[in-house]
Amino acid sequence: MDENAIRAAIFIQKWYRRHQARREMQRRCNWQIFQNLEYASEQDQAELYKFFNDLIKHMPQAAGRKNQYQGSAHVSVLEEKDDLVEEFGDIVNAKIELPIRKNHIDLLIDVFRKKRGNRLHPKYVALILREAAKSLKQLPNISPVSTAVSQQVTVCGDLHGKLDDLLVVLHKNGLPSSSNPYVFNGDFVDRGKRGLEVLLLLLSLYLAFPNAVFLNRGNHEDSVMNARYGFIREVESKYPRNHKRILAFIDEVYRWLPLGSVLNSRVLIVHGGFSDSTSLDLIKSIDRGKYVSILRPPLTDGEPLDKTEWQQIFDIMWSDPQATMGCVPNTLRGAGVWFGPDVTDNFLQRHRLSYVIRSHECKPNGHEFMHDNKIITIFSASNYYAIGSNKGAYIRLNNQLMPHFVQYISAASQTKRLSFKQRMGIVESSALKELAVRMRDHRDELEDEFRKYDPKDSGYISISQWCKVMENVTKLGLPWRLLRDKLAPGTDSQKVNYNRTLDLLDTDVILEAEADGMSVMDALYANKASLVAIFNIIDADNSGEITLDEFETAIDLLVAHMPGAYSKAEMLEKCRMMDLNGDGKVDLNEFLEAFRLSDLHRKEQQDENIRRRSTGRPSVAKTATDPVTLLADKISKNTLVVEHDIDPTDCESRVIDPKKS
């Protein structure tokens, strides 16, 4: 080979390596955006738990007594007569009756996989939910699972409303049976659009094959989480005339779902993980029916609240493994802990276990080993963040408890039609869209901080200044220098036109996405049970009314845990305004109304800020070639979702050798 050929080969090799390095950097950057945003969102939601905890700490005399009323309301819901009404629209003519059998499962799969005409009659929805709750209530907190008869078992992780992934698993692995048992490890709903169908199908599988289907509770089997992450809105949209009744049944299902499973007395299967204080003996003894929501104080029937017990459940639902030693609070999620390999070794030794299977975290390949293969993470929702963002997986364990992974991606034909560049563009656009929506929460603060570095109002600041503002305001820990070209498109290499960042946040595609989302305070008001629980705890003397003194004691905690939404002065003023008779007290209806009015005022203020910004800054004519317009159009095009009938055969899958994974 001559010298020129060798030089050419070396040049091509260097170019290819640089190209691959850039692609990998882009992939990691997008993944970091998705995960940091997800954890930051959950951190906001976990503040509600911390708020309740602090309320109870400062007002312990009220916590137990006040939940007695709530408890009596929940006990009777399964026994009450259904007051369902007819729904309008495309209710399918499919009959479900007890006992549920395989033919009913086949019918449900056929109905649910269609994009239209896929709604069951509400009476059958209620039937499935009611019967499942009654049956689940009889189960222990930790379900024993055995391979003595089946010689194998399949474990699935988070599905998050991805019905297509559930149908792929059932297609590839077969329906449950005595020889083909399943463990579904929580987070069945939220984020995906077909959460109700996933939940109903899983519960029907459990009712049809009660000895072959084991359902564990995840942190999203919780109405407070559902109010924030979409499942409650999904139920409301599908059953607008019956959603309250259906959601009450779903709450009953949640409270009676087992907290975990143990396979052959050797493998623990829980949703999140554990802490250095987790005791399976204590978890087995807990009355899990008290925990309708894990983020709200449990129903105690007048007994003192056991916060240690509450923390035990929180830790197994919310915790994540870490590579370093020790056990520390999970600051990314704002709840649970990070547990290291030393904590894992100690936990396994104390409980005579071989290893732990958990879920709770999206992984690019659907699974991951940690802690010398003693912690296995399994995640079953493919295309979780966007088309092509990740693969899903499930585990098959044989009688010797040797895991084998099946990795797959649903709707494979959609990704096959796309080049790698197109797939990366879709993932990147989805990441930027979610990031921009999150940044809109801080829109005014970003503008104020940018202008501090621009006293001459030139519209430009340095790259370092732009990055500093982005991190100080959002606190997302992202590689802002790499994102500068995306969030401030069309600027030069020395300066950043920060107005383009602000303009991007004001584009229609971002505003519409923001309108579709829900803040933690929106979710708190939407889930009135949380507000009622707060009212009951604040009402320390059990009078049914809150005095201004009681209110002022609690409002300091509310402002501390939910900063920026309501100030102490605003809340106290609202309380005084709602005190119509001037007796210095506020009842429950007045309390709820104060939240509604404050929420309405906040949204009106946001609209006013948008109008003010549009007239306060010199307008720049937007053309089809404007960098912000081009980026917004690209995001809109790449994140457009077109629904199709689900075809479970439209998938790609392969078996992974655990020794090579």
Catalytic residues: 220
As a whole number of angstroms, the distance between CA 228 and CA 353 comes to: 36
As a whole number of angstroms, the distance between CA 238 and CA 120 comes to: 10
Burial status of residue 608 (CB atoms within 10 A of its CB: 0-12, 13-18, 19 or more) = exposed
256 contacts: CB under 8 Å, gap ≥ 6: 133, 136, 137, 139, 288, 289
Burial 287-323 (b: 16+ CB within 10 A, else e): ebbbbbbbbbbbbbbeeebbbebbbbbbbbbbbbbbe
As a whole number of angstroms, the distance between CA 487 and CA 37 comes to: 16
> Which residue in the block uniquely carries the two structure tokens 């623990």?
268
As a whole number of angstroms, the distance between CA 405 and CA 162 comes to: 19
As a whole number of angstroms, the distance between CA 303 and CA 258 comes to: 23
As a whole number of angstroms, the distance between CA 403 and CA 269 comes to: 13
**Token digits for 48?**
């509600």
The answer to whether residues 243 and 249 touch, using CB atoms and an 8 Å cutoff, is no
> Which residue in the block uniquely carries the two structure tokens 């005022």?
601
Question: Dihedral sign, CA of 57, 59, 65, 67?
Answer: negative
Please compute, for residue 400, the number of CA atoms within 13 A of its CA located in the half-sphere on the CB side: 2
**Token digits for 233?**
């809105």
Question: What is the four-CA torsion angle of 338, 343, 347, 353, rounded to 10 degrees?
Answer: 90
As a whole number of angstroms, the distance between CA 195 and CA 221 comes to: 11
Using CA atoms, how far residue 181 sits from 174, 205, 425, 510, in Å, is 10, 11, 39, 44
> Which residue in the block uniquely carries the two structure tokens 């603060």?
445
Q: Please state whether beta strands 355-358 and 267-269 pair in parallel, antiparallel, or not at all (unpaired).
A: parallel
The answer to whether residues 264 and 293 touch, using CB atoms and an 8 Å cutoff, is no
Q: Residue 609, Cβ neighbours under 10 Å: how many?
A: 14
As a whole number of angstroms, the distance between CA 182 and CA 177 comes to: 9
As a whole number of angstroms, the distance between CA 520 and CA 44 comes to: 6
